[in-house]
Homo-oligomer: A and B are copies of this chain.
Amino acid sequence: MNIGQASTGSGVSAKMIRYYESIGLMPAAGRTQSGYRVYSDRDVHLLRFVRRARDLGFALEDIRLLLGLWQDDARPSAAVKDIALKHIGELTRKIAELQAMKRSLQHLAEACHGDARPDCPILDDLSGLDDAAGEAGSAACCR
Protein backbone atom coordinates (compact mmCIF):
# COMPACT_ATOMS: atom_id res chain seq x y z
CA MET A 1 0.00 0.00 0.00
CA ASN A 2 1.13 3.58 -0.68
CA ILE A 3 1.81 6.26 1.89
CA GLY A 4 -1.59 7.81 1.27
CA GLN A 5 -3.39 4.64 2.27
CA ALA A 6 -1.12 4.16 5.25
CA SER A 7 -1.96 7.70 6.28
CA THR A 8 -5.69 7.22 5.93
CA GLY A 9 -5.50 3.88 7.70
CA SER A 10 -3.49 5.15 10.62
CA GLY A 11 -4.60 8.73 11.05
CA VAL A 12 -1.03 9.93 10.70
CA SER A 13 -0.36 12.45 7.94
CA ALA A 14 1.93 11.40 5.09
CA LYS A 15 4.18 14.25 6.07
CA MET A 16 4.55 12.85 9.55
CA ILE A 17 5.04 9.28 8.34
CA ARG A 18 8.02 10.43 6.31
CA TYR A 19 9.27 12.42 9.26
CA TYR A 20 8.99 9.47 11.63
CA GLU A 21 10.99 7.46 9.14
CA SER A 22 13.61 10.18 8.85
CA ILE A 23 14.22 10.26 12.59
CA GLY A 24 14.30 6.50 12.83
CA LEU A 25 11.06 6.12 14.75
CA MET A 26 9.70 3.97 11.95
CA PRO A 27 11.80 1.45 10.04
CA ALA A 28 12.57 2.72 6.56
CA ALA A 29 9.69 1.71 4.34
CA GLY A 30 10.28 -0.51 1.35
CA ARG A 31 10.19 1.11 -2.07
CA THR A 32 8.74 0.32 -5.44
CA GLN A 33 11.06 0.51 -8.40
CA SER A 34 9.91 4.05 -9.01
CA GLY A 35 10.66 5.11 -5.46
CA TYR A 36 7.22 5.04 -3.87
CA ARG A 37 7.17 3.92 -0.26
CA VAL A 38 5.36 0.65 0.38
CA TYR A 39 3.55 -0.14 3.63
CA SER A 40 2.13 -3.29 5.16
CA ASP A 41 -0.73 -3.73 7.61
CA ARG A 42 1.90 -4.17 10.27
CA ASP A 43 3.31 -0.76 9.47
CA VAL A 44 -0.13 0.78 9.77
CA HIS A 45 -0.53 -0.93 13.11
CA LEU A 46 2.74 0.58 14.23
CA LEU A 47 1.66 4.01 13.02
CA ARG A 48 -1.57 3.69 14.92
CA PHE A 49 0.43 2.87 18.02
CA VAL A 50 2.40 6.05 17.56
CA ARG A 51 -0.73 8.07 17.02
CA ARG A 52 -2.41 6.80 20.14
CA ALA A 53 0.69 7.49 22.15
CA ARG A 54 0.76 11.02 20.73
CA ASP A 55 -2.88 11.40 21.67
CA LEU A 56 -1.87 10.61 25.22
CA GLY A 57 0.73 13.34 25.01
CA PHE A 58 3.85 11.21 24.89
CA ALA A 59 6.87 12.84 23.30
CA LEU A 60 8.35 11.11 20.29
CA GLU A 61 11.41 10.11 22.30
CA ASP A 62 9.19 8.38 24.83
CA ILE A 63 7.32 6.72 22.02
CA ARG A 64 10.60 5.44 20.69
CA LEU A 65 11.12 3.70 24.03
CA LEU A 66 7.56 2.44 24.15
CA LEU A 67 7.87 0.98 20.68
CA GLY A 68 11.02 -0.81 21.75
CA LEU A 69 9.24 -2.32 24.73
CA TRP A 70 6.20 -3.15 22.66
CA GLN A 71 8.31 -5.22 20.33
CA ASP A 72 10.24 -6.87 23.14
CA ASP A 73 8.38 -9.94 24.31
CA ALA A 74 10.53 -10.13 27.43
CA ARG A 75 9.87 -6.55 28.57
CA PRO A 76 9.08 -6.03 32.22
CA SER A 77 5.79 -4.19 32.48
CA ALA A 78 7.48 -2.05 35.11
CA ALA A 79 9.53 -0.41 32.37
CA VAL A 80 6.37 0.64 30.56
CA LYS A 81 4.71 1.80 33.75
CA ASP A 82 7.76 3.91 34.62
CA ILE A 83 7.48 5.80 31.37
CA ALA A 84 3.76 6.26 31.89
CA LEU A 85 4.17 7.48 35.47
CA LYS A 86 6.90 9.89 34.46
CA HIS A 87 4.58 11.29 31.83
CA ILE A 88 1.71 11.54 34.28
CA GLY A 89 4.03 13.56 36.47
CA GLU A 90 4.80 15.93 33.63
CA LEU A 91 1.13 16.29 32.82
CA THR A 92 0.37 17.00 36.45
CA ARG A 93 3.03 19.65 36.64
CA LYS A 94 1.89 21.28 33.43
CA ILE A 95 -1.75 21.24 34.46
CA ALA A 96 -0.89 22.88 37.78
CA GLU A 97 1.10 25.54 35.97
CA LEU A 98 -1.73 26.36 33.59
CA GLN A 99 -4.26 26.35 36.40
CA ALA A 100 -2.19 28.83 38.37
CA MET A 101 -2.11 31.10 35.35
CA LYS A 102 -5.81 30.72 34.82
CA ARG A 103 -6.62 31.45 38.44
CA SER A 104 -4.55 34.62 38.50
CA LEU A 105 -5.96 35.80 35.26
CA GLN A 106 -9.50 35.11 36.32
CA HIS A 107 -9.11 37.20 39.43
CA LEU A 108 -7.74 40.02 37.36
CA ALA A 109 -10.44 39.72 34.73
CA GLU A 110 -13.17 39.71 37.34
CA ALA A 111 -11.83 42.94 38.77
CA CYS A 112 -11.79 44.58 35.35
CA HIS A 113 -14.86 46.54 34.38
CA GLY A 114 -14.46 45.71 30.74
CA ASP A 115 -16.07 48.88 29.53
CA ALA A 116 -15.02 52.06 27.74
CA ARG A 117 -13.06 53.44 30.68
CA PRO A 118 -9.29 53.09 30.61
CA ASP A 119 -8.56 51.98 34.16
CA CYS A 120 -7.78 48.31 34.20
CA PRO A 121 -6.55 46.08 37.02
CA ILE A 122 -5.09 43.67 34.51
CA LEU A 123 -2.71 46.26 33.14
CA ASP A 124 -2.08 47.52 36.64
CA ASP A 125 -0.93 44.07 37.66
CA LEU A 126 1.27 43.65 34.63
CA SER A 127 2.74 47.07 35.32
CA GLY A 128 3.87 45.85 38.68
CA LEU A 129 1.40 47.83 40.73
CA ASP A 130 1.30 44.92 43.17
CA ASP A 131 3.17 47.24 45.43
CA ALA A 132 0.27 49.70 45.42
CA ALA A 133 -2.60 48.40 47.52
CA GLY A 134 -3.95 45.08 48.72
CA GLU A 135 -6.11 44.39 45.68
CA ALA A 136 -7.57 40.91 45.55
CA GLY A 137 -6.94 40.66 41.85
CA SER A 138 -3.18 40.68 41.94
CA ALA A 139 -1.59 37.79 40.15
CA ALA A 140 1.04 37.83 42.87
CA CYS A 141 -1.50 36.48 45.33
CA CYS A 142 -1.77 33.28 43.34
CA ARG A 143 1.81 32.50 42.50
**B126 and A70 within 8 A (CB):** yes
Residues of B within 8 A of A101 (CB): 55-57, 91
Tally chain A residues at the interface, Cβ within 8 Å: 55
Residues of B within 8 A of A109 (CB): 81, 84-85, 88
Quick check: which of A12-20, A24-32, A46-54 contacts chain B, the rest being far away? A46-54
**Which residues of A (88-143) have their CB < 8 Å from a CB of B?**
88, 91-92, 94-95, 98-99, 101-102, 104-106, 108-109, 112-120, 122-123, 125-128, 139, 143
- Closest B residue to A106 by beta carbon equals B88
* Closest CB in chain B relative to A97 CB, distance in Å: 8
